[in-house]
Amino acid sequence: MQLIINIIQLASLYCLICCGYVLIYRASRVLNLAHGELMSMGGYFLFTVVIGIVADPIPSFLIACIFSVALGFCVYFFLMRFMAGETVFAAVLVTVALGILLRGLMTMIWTPQLLHPLQYLKLENSSYKLFAGGVTSTFGIVMVISALVLYTGLFLCFKFTRWGLRMRAVGERPLLASQRGIGLHKYYALSWGIAVFSGGLAGMIQACDSGLDNSMFVIGLKALPVVLVGGLDSLLGVIPGAFVVAAAEVITIQYISPQASEVAPFAVLLAMLLIRPWGLFGTKEELERV
């Protein structure tokens, strides 16, 4: 039972993070390797807001989310916009460099110590006993709920709103979309905004759950196999992908060793690349093949 709860919690964390990878990949065919850092920026924003502005849970989360979205816009307008027309390799390397820059800045501004935004929020991360002897925590539940809400929201948005339709169009064929009068920059920036927002939200909840330091970005890297398993261009695929990878990780912790669990996602990744490189739900033509 506990195993299943752990898997669900980890899977929803991965869902929140990976939504960002998929959105950016779909929009601009760039794999954002700075996502782990952008995610921890969310946690640090929350910490700053809680210390400096309001220490109330809901407003502080909202303000930190706004900061995250703004960060996403900034990344697009001041950096990624210039990479249009360059090779994908160069764009990916720019995100790697951005990650290094952010990691340095984070350590400079917020010190490398472990921070706990929770203690300033005057909240308890209490544990709840569920049926059949399973135990979970407040923020574990928050994580699952926000993943559910985010995915339902995104799904409805893509399906029924004008913006969602345009974003899909931009992702599908940027040239045609722009000829039909869709402002590409706006929608690229929007996808960066949403991506950093969802990653940042994951960072905030994770920071409340288990503290915040500059090594949080590793979670972002470990989430990469999830997107690959689900298919890089499929938002829906993230959910089964997250469950597969989370299950592999939790089961390895339980039955082999915590050290081995660090590589379990990557073992899944290799297996997936050998069998179905385009992922469970990805488009086959999407894959650049030899």
- Rule CB under 8 A: which residues touch other proteins? 31, 79, 82-83, 86, 88-90, 92-94, 96-108, 112, 221, 224-225, 228, 232, 259-260, 262-263, 266-267, 269-270, 273-274, 277, 287-290
Contact 261, 254 (CB under 8 A): no
Considering beta carbons, is residue 118 or 227 the nearer one to other proteins? Answer: 227
Rounded to 10°, the helix 184-210/2-28 angle is: 160
Q: Report, in Å, the least distance between residue 180 CB and other proteins.
A: 28
Considering beta carbons, is residue 20 or 140 the nearer one to other proteins? Answer: 20
Considering beta carbons, is residue 53 or 260 the nearer one to other proteins? Answer: 260
Considering beta carbons, is residue 140 or 174 the nearer one to other proteins? Answer: 174
Q: Report, in Å, the least distance between residue 101 CB and other proteins.
A: 3
Considering beta carbons, is residue 14 or 151 the nearer one to other proteins? Answer: 14
Distance between CA atoms of residues 191 and 22, nearest Å: 10
Question: ∠ at Cα 23 (108, 16), nearest 5°?
Answer: 65
Best CA proximity match to 25, nearest among 170, 204, 162, 150: 170
Q: Report, in Å, the least distance between residue 55 CB and other proteins.
A: 27
Distance between CA atoms of residues 241 and 227, nearest Å: 7
Considering beta carbons, is residue 58 or 290 the nearer one to other proteins? Answer: 290
Distance between CA atoms of residues 184 and 167, nearest Å: 9
Q: Report, in Å, the least distance between residue 93 CB and other proteins.
A: 6
Q: Report, in Å, the least distance between residue 290 CB and other proteins.
A: 6
In single-letter form, the type of residue at position 163 comes to W
In the block, residue with structure tokens 């994908």? 88
Distance between CA atoms of residues 197 and 67, nearest Å: 8
Dihedral sign of CA atoms 72, 77, 78, 80 in order: positive
What's the length of the chain?
A: 290
Q: Report, in Å, the least distance between residue 99 CB and other proteins.
A: 7
